[in-house]
Chain A
Amino acid sequence: MKLAAVDIGGTFIDCFVVWDGRYVQTKALTTHHNLSLGFNEALDEAAAELSLNRGDFFRQVESIRYATTLGTNALIERRGPRVGILTTEGFESTVPLSRGRGYAEGLTQAEALDLTRAKRPLPLVPPGLIRGIRQRLDFRGEEILPLDEEDVRRKLRELMDEGIQVLVVSLANSTSNDRHERRIREIFREEYPPHLLGSIPLILASEVAGRRGEYVRTSSAIIDAYLHSIMYFGLSSLELNLKKSGYSRPALVVHNTGGMAQLNSTDALRTVHSGPVAGIHAGDELARQSKLGNVVCTDMGGTSFDIGIVVEGGIKHYDFYPVIDRWLVTVPMVHLNSLGAGGGSIARYDPIFKTIAVGPESAGSEPGPACFDRGGLRPTVTDADMLLGYLDPQHYAHGKIKLNAARSRQALEDLCDELGMDAVAVAMRIRHRADSDMANGMVAELRARGYRVDDFTMLAYGGNGPLHCCGIARNAGIRSVLVPPFSPMFSACGAASLSPMHIHEYSQITDLYNPATASLLSDFERFNRVVEDLEERGLKDLLRQGFAVGEIRHRLEIDIRYGSQKVETAVVCAKNRLSCVGDVLELIERLAVDHAGRYGEGAQAPESGIRIMAYRVASYVPGRNVEFGDLWQDIGKAWTPEPVATRKCHFNTDQGAVQVPCYDARALEAGAVLVGPAIINPGWTTYLVEPGWRFEAARHGAARLTRID
């Protein structure tokens, strides 16, 4: 297998190449003005490492896939087109009111709490571009008010006259019956045939999201519409660039559902947050291949600390209602909790408790921490790391960024004055606060989903992961951390290990058990029909991309809840069809086990009814591209590497500075063992082995850090 996976991030473009069992990792700076430049640089570097010229590389590589933040950036920068909406009359303010809570989506809890400054974000669709259509369906899909076609034509003309560039059609209860939405599309095509220059894209909400909830579905369709052309042109130009380089196949775009697809089978909405999701997928692969059991993936970068949960045994963690930028949407996105804590997080004085608070405000990559010497004046976590001696000022980020400790000290001055402490003591507090906040966030994330921290292995990756993982783990009460293989490019590695996959959903309440009538589900035909339809849609998506029917598999997941509990548990079904009451009881049993595993035995409430809330089919082409294998197999005898330097570091205010041995990339070779304190700088990241911790290197540059005190 020869493939290349690229994760286009805010600061760096990470590239991970699989070449007949060999793995190559490269990085280039993100070139926002023209992504192709950085993209090419990273791939050229990989080709060079393989001793290939560009032409040979692109001719031989069988698959190129990439994750991109293009969509997120377009949303933040509000660069999208003028979107119009046709909705059910009487629902015109649904989107502007955003369920009330919309003002606070994407904000911190502290910001959400301040009602006196509450302000909804600038709308993606101004209220003046929303029109109500005369029609109404009930929740069963039965018609209350027929579609008024003349009204449709009139409102279409009004919106076109307003100069809309994309049209979203989102009608109440269209997931139960999409007939009215489809008829509006036909009318639109009659009025504005696609071959005419004035025609514009039209998006039906029921085709973007299959879940109930008129706001979240419309919101999903709006984002899809908003990003559609930007993503199309952005990604097409990347594809064109690949074609020019000699790559003739279609590239694959990573989806936030944990799969990937060709551009012609990709909704714009599915690309948002695809990079971090690919990292979680890598964690999933690694956990399965190395038999790690449950893992919690933590990715600490410059601005955020992303947490993902991977559970052994197939329980899937999705956000059915994720927030993208400031918008609540519905798309089954792999669950990801992003905390505002990273190297660039800014520290400030908390006058109430007379202590230090860190984040969520971040210095980002521009200007970045004060020590980057790019104009940043406020103290950050990286500045604290700098003053504590953990970072090598000359060789940070492969020497691409020279660090200036004087700037860090300067940035901490106000905090020193407020607290009456010296810079080192303040730096130690900043670091402790940051580590403690991340630990609390991670623990809360696991516990809120019903898990015990003890049952998980913590994976630490991202630019700052190995530098802070001991501190985070200590605060979380975790004694062992795994820095995964290829940790600086772990998300790109995840993209490399992905399979083509499409997910389709249908939301409809189906009683598995109705206590009022004491009956179990018996309409198997209806259940099977829904599943068959979803499989058919997934099949079509994959066939369109050239896969054969025989290669395609379908995984059925159903979201079930007890009575009126809010939580829905995604149960992976052993069978994709029901044929007898035994199958129903087996599903109920499976739910009971999964639910108890998460929320405790006794939390199940079957006596209040058991309902299917949604059906989901993941259609995919199985494959395994990255072989992690057992990380600890054949690593040979333990050995102790030689330090390349020593540096004065601070770990405890009482002890003063201590001399700490520093190591280079050789310390990551399998079998190397170190006892903290120690610092390893292989290039793109820094591993800090704190006092009381032991470091053991495994295969592919992975390492285990274990608490020994």
Chain B
Amino acid sequence: MEIFDNLLMGLSIAITPINLMYLLIGASIGMMIGAIPGFGPSAGIAILLPLTFSMSPISAVMMLAAIYYGAMFGGTITAILLNTPGDSTTVASTFDGFPLAQRGRAGPALVMQACASFVGGTIGVILITLLAPIFSMVTRSFGPPEFFLLCVMGLLTLVALMSGNWILGLISALIGFALGTVGVDLETGHQRFTFGAVELIGGIHFIPVAIGLFGIGELFYAFYNGAHKSGSGGIIQYQNESRFWPTKQDLIDCKYTMPRNSILGFVIGIIPGAGATIASLMAYSLERSLSKNPEKFGMGEMRGLVAPESANNAASSGAMVPLLTLGIPGSASTAVLLAAFLMWGLRPGPLLMEQNPEFAWGLISSMYLGNMALLVLSVFAIPLFVYIIKAPYRILAPLVLVVCTLGTFSVNASIVETFIMLAAGIVGFYMKRLGFSPAAVVLALVLGPMAEESLRQTLLISRGSFDIFFIRQASVYILVFFAAIILGGAFLNSQRRRDKLKENTV
């Protein structure tokens, strides 16, 4: 079969000692960079891009791709251990990842996230190998109307986050939306809420707000709770740490979670824009609605961590589809990769896979190897991270604060963002104490501007008519899918209620 010939050819190119070395270096650096709050995949690639100028294109792309998914892998480590998502794609992983660590299951949580990332990444590459040209049809049918509908689906997951105290949840989401409107208005070019500061023209970025609200806010809150007074650990408990590996029950619980959310993540990841973020959120809410005990989500449910992790790693593979098949960058990270393609004299586009098969297939096969390398690396890395976190919190906390602050600064060399982060830290502390939802703030901050822009683009195109959502084929499919999910969810809910009622009466 042609695909396997291609894959074999790709493997023969990828498996040379020097390339494997670059792959390993890239994966370890990526993992390390991802674990530093502030440094996401795109920052990692951008920082190391100049190092690759002197390499051959295939070695360079293998290393950069390894950094890319290595950072996806590593970003979750801080999300679980410190409640600090390094990138918008790992926000959903904090929902259950951090509670798991707090309950003394940091080890199993990290191992399961490594497995989920591996499964997600690998299923993603398999789908690229077999079906990349078919999946590129998804990209070909996605315009602003479809993108808007997808954003709305992402926003609906906010409702799940508000289940506790709806008025505080609503306020949190509105704060996120309000922050999202800062900056130059895309359509008219007018400045909104910038107070004349040039640093705010580009808007308020996700990273300083998320690191502040989650990471720094958590630090202040832990001190408020006296976590620094205990001898070791602090926010995370270790009395159960004899159980480093996940239990059999964890694996049984997650046996369908990984594959189904990997496929979901991959398909959504193909769509240029916020693929991986929306994918991880939808995976989380899908898993929550399929669960028999949705009330356990957010309290440290393994499936609540595994679902978004499989999805966001599969989505990062998915983002390679438009890049390889159409030359379209779907995310900040793939945009930097695209710039690198041009620099190496490649012409990204539909003909890339025909004209440079050794490059395209070399990259694809390196992704198989990279995912395996990451799984192996994490076996060594996880105990190390767990060990670091065992240091007394009163010593760890100032150091974490320093790394968060300087990590935030480094992304854009911006002191304004550093202060946004510190201010968000104070706000996050109060939000946590008063029962607001920091997660709703950052998700509204990410999804709000996307939804607003795509809706306004849609209405510009349709000259103000909403009919466009019912005329375009792809929109109709999404709406139907939408309706099916809502109806299905409602059906499951009523079914569950009836079951419970039965149990109670019996």
Do A and B belong to a common assembly?
Answer: no
